[in-house]
Amino acid sequence: MSDMFRLDQKIAVVIGAGSGIGQAAAIGLARQGAARVICADLRLDSAQDTASQIGATAEAATVDIANSDSVRDLLCGVVARHGGLHIAVSTPGINVRKSILDYSSDELDRVISVNLKGTFHVLREAGAIMAAAGGGSIIAFSSIRSVTVEPGQGVYAATKAGIVQMVRALAAELGSKNVRVNAVAPGVVETPLTAPIKNNPAWYAAYAAKSVFGRWARADEMAGPVAFLASDASSYITGSVLFVDGGWTAADGRFTPPL
């Protein structure tokens, strides 16, 4: 059974691999035997750091997910150098925490450009390559905010919900080509994006209490779900959202009634 989870001979690209969830995903895919892991990030030095942690089977690349040409050049270059693309993971996301009434048009464009349009670029370009090759697995990162929201998260939540619907649509469109497309929806994870919350003890504790485990997730706890969705163990899973949220969306978590 363990062979089902192996990724031997697979070529994987992880966008956002320079830190946080993306870094953990790249390392996780390598540990499952991926023949080559391309660690791509806007910051080449960060991508190189992740690649060095993996070793000889990894390489670093730069990419701007908000730029469609940059994404296309990255993925086509991988195919040209390595003969194929079997796994594509898209993790980047940004957030501007403001009420909708206070949001500027520039801030709206910035969040949508990275989160929604950026993910779209990966889905489109990786989908085209994999459809032509007859198969592959694409994994995009959504969030619990796709289904539950709080003040100041409206635009971010809208982009994460949009990612889910794009994933579902592409899964339906490419199923006949043996291309699987899924989303991972984390809860709160200790990453650079959430560092400002971690630095606020009350806020940090409140989010920890929402998990049934009473704690935040570590970035490395996202690696297993990514490796699973990339592997043959999930061969009949597509168009799905895998919530990796410590029970956040399953339980209220605020009050335990007497039973």
Catalytic residue, chosen from 156, 204, 207, 236, is 156
Owner of token pair 């619990």: 144
Look up 103 and say whether it is catalytic.
Answer: no
Whether the CB-CB separation of 185 and 243 falls below 8 Å is answered with yes
Angle of CA points 190, 168, 230, to nearest 5°: 55
User: Six-digit token pair at 34?
Assistant: 């991926």
239 Rama sector, left if φ>0, alpha if ψ -120 to 50, beta otherwise: left
User: Six-digit token pair at 96?
Assistant: 């501007």
Show the DSSP H helices in the chain as ranges. 20-31, 44-54, 68-82, 105-111, 118-133, 154-174, 195-198, 201-210, 223-230
Beta pairing partners, 184: 141, 242
Grouping H, G, I as helix, E, B as strand and the rest as coil, residue 193 is helix
Residues carrying an active site annotation = 156
